């Protein structure tokens, strides 16, 4: 497997630590596709996904697999993998239903409010317990944190490259200075 461009790959897991003395590692899955960690699966590893690892054996529970890779014979070699992310090419992702998208596909899309304000482009996706947060950054460096909620995100036009969000004072647009001036002092 050749290393795809970083924008064309998806993180499917993170190696958390070595497990035992026979080269196994504990993997935190970042995917719902459990087969990613089955024997024979190829995964890219490293900050630029420049190395391919082949799963030799899988043990453990589905939500916390223990994996041994070919060429990782012992604990010492496994320890060197701790903290590394495991990737697959984006083309290896299953197709989604119409109107749905993978988070990586949002990177670089323009974000505008329903009133026409330009908030910049999506530069980062923050994973949160309740919902994802999309970080939009304007050309002048102003960041807007957009919660990925149905009440806030009105539409995602993938072919057009535009996300439309509700204009919400204090959330997607700054509060008006008049409103701040009228607030009573604490």
The 8 Å CB, 24+ separation contacts for 134-142 are: 134/106, 134/163, 136/111
Give the CA count within 13 Å in the CB-facing half-sphere of 90: 12
The helix/strand/coil state of 182 is helix
Of the pLDDT bands very low, low, confident and very high (cuts 50, 70, 90), residue 146 is: very high
Phi-psi map region of 141: left, alpha, beta (phi>0 left; psi -120 to 50 alpha):
left
Mean pLDDT of 136-164: 93
Rounded-to-integer distance, Cα 23 and Cα 43, Å:
16
- Residue 5: pLDDT band (50, 70, 90) is low
Nearest alpha-carbon partner for 87 in 121, 36, 142, 134 = 36
β partners of residue 133: 126, 147
2 band by pLDDT with thresholds 50, 70 and 90:
low
Q: What is the pLDDT of residues 88-114, one digit of tens each?
A: 988 887 777 777 787 778 889 999 999
Helices (H), the chain: 75-79, 177-182
Q: What is the mean pLDDT of the chain?
A: 85
Predicted confidence at residue 154, as pLDDT, reads 94
pLDDT of amino acid 97: 78
Q: Any idea what the Cα angle at residue 132 is, between residues 100 and 109, rounded to 5°?
A: 60
């Amino acid at each position: 497997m050749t290393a795809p461009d970083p924008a064309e790959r998806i993180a499917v897991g993170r190696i958390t630590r070595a497990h035992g003395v026979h080269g196994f590692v504990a993997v935190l899955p970042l995917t719902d596709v459990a087969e990613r960690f089955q024997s024979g699966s190829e995964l890219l590893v490293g900050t630029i996904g420049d190395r391919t690892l082949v799963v030799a054996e899988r043990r453990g529970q589905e939500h916390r697999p223990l994996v041994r890779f070919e060429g990782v014979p012992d604990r010492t070699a496994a320890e060197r993998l701790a903290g590394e992310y495991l990737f697959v090419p984006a083309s290896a992702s299953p197709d989604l239903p119409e109107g749905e998208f993978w988070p990586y596909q949002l990177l670089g899309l323009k974000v505008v409010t329903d009133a026409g304000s330009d908030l910049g482009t999506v530069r980062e996706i923050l994973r949160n317990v309740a919902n994802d947060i999309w970080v939009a950054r304007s050309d002048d460096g102003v960041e807007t944190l957009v919660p990925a909620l149905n009440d806030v995100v009105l539409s995602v036009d993938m072919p057009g490259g535009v996300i439309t969000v509700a204009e919400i004072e204090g959330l997607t647009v700054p509060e008006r200075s008049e409103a701040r001036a009228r607030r009573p002092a604490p």
